[in-house]
C-alpha cells in the first residue's frame, strides 16, 4: 500500500503593518529642573491644550496647589505609596479609568517615585547584609533602573498620548548640598527619560530687570522642531505642541494633533489559505502481517527484512510507522514484480522482499 498524501488548509487573519503608519502627532516631554522652576504648572497646562482630559499622577502630593486639580479642570491622583503608581497607570490606560476619557498624562515626579523605590531596595539590602552603610553595586543599580522604567514605558509608549514627565535636578550651585541618597539617585533617572521621551527640557529661572522669567531650554531632542539649545520663554504645553506643525522650526511630518487622519489601510488582512501536505495514516503492523501472509511470506521472513532495512531491529513490535510503511511498500513491489516465491522454510530469506529497493541483498538463482 503506497503512502498516500492529503492536503490541509490553514486560514485566519493577521495585522496589516501598513495600518500602523502614524496618523496623529503627539509629544512626549520630560521637564527637569530644581524646585520652584514651574515644572508642575507646565505639566498641568496640558489640561488646556485641547487634548482631552488630563490624568495627573501626583507622586509628590503637591498638585493640590494647582488650580483645577480637584477635578474641575483635570484629575490629580495622589500616589500615597510608590507601589500604587503602576496600578493607577493600569487603571487609567486599561481599566475603569478609560471611562474618564483621558487624552493626555503627566507624572510628577519621576525622581520622587524612583527615589522612594530605590530607598526600599537599599533598606532591604542593608537589612539582608546587616551593614547600615551598604550601597547597591553598579549591577544592582542598573537592574533597579530597568525594573522601575516600566512605569515610563507604560506612560510614554503604551498610552499613545501626549505625556509630560516631571523630573528633579539639584539647584544650580547647590548640587553638593543635596542629600546623599538623592544626589546619588538623580543621575540615574536621566538615562531612562532620555530613552523614552521625544524632547527633554531643563527649567530654570532668569532675572530680567526686576522680573523673574521661566526659561525652558532644550537639552535633548529627537525632533528638528526643537533644536538643542532652543530656549522657550514662559511656555505652556499648547505653545510647545504647536511647534510641531507651525512656525519655521517645524520640518517634521505634517500630522494633525487633535484628530487622527482617516485610516486608509485595513487593520487586519485575511491570510490566504495554504495547502500543506500531510501524510495519511499508514498500515498497522497487523495489516502488514496479513498482507505478508497473503503474499506467501512468513513472520520470520519479515523479521529478516526488518533487521536488514530497519536499523537492525528484530522485533516487529518495535517498528515505527515509517518502518512498517517501508516494509509494506516492499511487499507491494513484490506483488507487482510477480517473481518466483522464495524457498519454503522457517527463517529463509525472501529474495524479492530484500531486493525490491534496487538490488541490495539480492541473491542469484541457478
**Which CATH architecture group holds 25-242?**
3-Layer(aba) Sandwich (3.40)
Element of type H or E holding 204? strand 199-208
**Measured between alpha carbons, how far is 339 from 190 in angstroms, rounded to an integer?**
86
Tens digit of each residue's pLDDT (9 = 90 or more) over 276-320: 555 556 788 888 888 888 888 888 888 888 888 888 888 888 888
Tens digit of each residue's pLDDT (9 = 90 or more) over 99-150: 999 999 999 989 888 888 888 888 888 999 999 888 888 787 777 778 888 9
233 vs 179 pLDDT, higher one: 233
Residue 83 has pLDDT above 50, yes or no: yes
Structural contact between residues 198 and 223, judged by C-beta atoms closer than 8 angstroms? yes
- The chain-wide mean pLDDT, for the chain, equals 81
Highest mean pLDDT range out of 15-24, 100-109, 242-251, 309-318? 100-109
Q: Please tell me the predicted confidence (pLDDT) of residue 322.
A: 86
Q: How far is CA 70 from CA 39, 111, 135, 263, 345, in A?
A: 19, 24, 40, 37, 101
DSSP state string for 44-94: HGGGGTTSSEEEEEESSS-GGGSTTTBTTS-EEEE-SSTTHHHHHHHHHHH
Tens digit of each residue's pLDDT (9 = 90 or more) over 50-73: 999 999 999 999 999 999 999 999
**Measured between alpha carbons, how far is 90 from 183 in angstroms, rounded to an integer?**
30
The domain limits of the chain are: 25-242, 283-355
Amino acid at each position: 500500500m503506497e503512502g498516500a498524501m492529503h492536503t490541509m488548509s490553514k486560514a485566519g487573519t493577521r495585522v496589516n503593518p501598513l495600518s500602523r503608519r502614524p496618523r496623529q502627532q503627539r509629544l512626549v516631554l520630560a521637564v527637569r529642573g530644581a524646585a520652584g522652576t514651574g515644572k508642575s504648572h507646565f505639566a498641568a497646562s496640558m489640561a488646556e491644550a485641547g487634548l482631552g482630559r488630563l490624568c495627573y499622577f501626583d507622586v509628590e502630593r503637591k498638585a493640590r496647589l494647582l488650580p483645577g486639580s480637584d477635578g474641575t479642570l483635570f484629575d490629580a491622583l495622589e500616589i500615597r505609596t510608590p507601589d500604587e503608581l503602576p496600578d493607577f497607570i493600569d487603571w487609567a490606560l486599561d481599566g475603569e479609568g478609560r471611562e474618564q476619557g483621558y487624552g493626555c498624562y503627566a507624572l510628577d515626579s519621576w525622581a520622587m517615585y524612583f527615589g522612594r523605590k530605590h530607598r526600599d531596595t537599599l533598606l532591604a539590602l542593608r537589612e539582608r547584609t546587616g551593614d547600615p552603610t551598604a550601597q547597591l553595586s553598579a549591577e544592582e543599580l542598573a537592574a533597579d533602573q530597568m525594573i522601575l522604567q516600566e512605569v515610563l514605558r507604560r506612560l510614554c509608549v503604551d498610552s499613545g498620548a501626549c505625556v509630560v514627565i516631571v523630573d528633579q535636578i539639584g539647584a544650580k550651585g547647590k548640587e553638593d548640598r543635596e542629600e546623599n541618597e538623592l544626589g546619588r539617585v538623580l543621575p540615574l533617572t536621566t538615562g531612562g527619560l532620555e530613552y523614552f521621551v521625544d524632547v527633554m527640557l531643563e527649567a530654570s529661572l532668569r532675572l530680567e530687570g526686576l522680573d523673574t522669567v521661566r526659561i525652558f531650554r532644550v537639552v535633548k531632542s529627537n525632533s528638528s522642531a526643537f533644536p538643542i539649545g532652543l530656549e522657550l520663554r514662559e511656555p505652556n504645553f499648547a505653545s510647545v505642541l504647536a511647534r510641531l506643525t507651525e512656525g519655521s522650526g517645524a520640518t517634521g511630518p505634517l500630522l494633525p494633533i487633535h484628530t487622527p487622519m482617516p485610516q486608509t489601510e485595513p487593520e487586519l488582512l485575511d491570510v490566504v489559505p495554504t495547502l500543506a501536505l500531510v501524510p495519511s495514516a499508514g498500515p498497522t503492523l497487523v495489516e502488514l502481517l496479513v498482507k505478508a501472509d497473503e503474499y506467501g511470506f512468513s513472520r520470520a521472513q519479515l523479521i529478516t527484512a526488518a533487521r536488514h532495512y530497519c536499523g537492525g531491529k528484530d522485533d516487529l513490535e518495535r517498528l515505527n510507522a515509517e518502518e512498517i510503511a517501508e516494509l509494506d511498500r516492499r511487499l507491494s513491489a513484490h506483488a507487482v514484480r510477480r517473481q518466483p516465491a522464495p524457498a519454503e522454510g522457517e527463517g529463509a530469506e525472501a529474495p524479492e522482499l530484500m531486493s525490491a529497493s534496487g538490488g541490495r541483498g539480492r541473491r542469484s538463482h541457478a
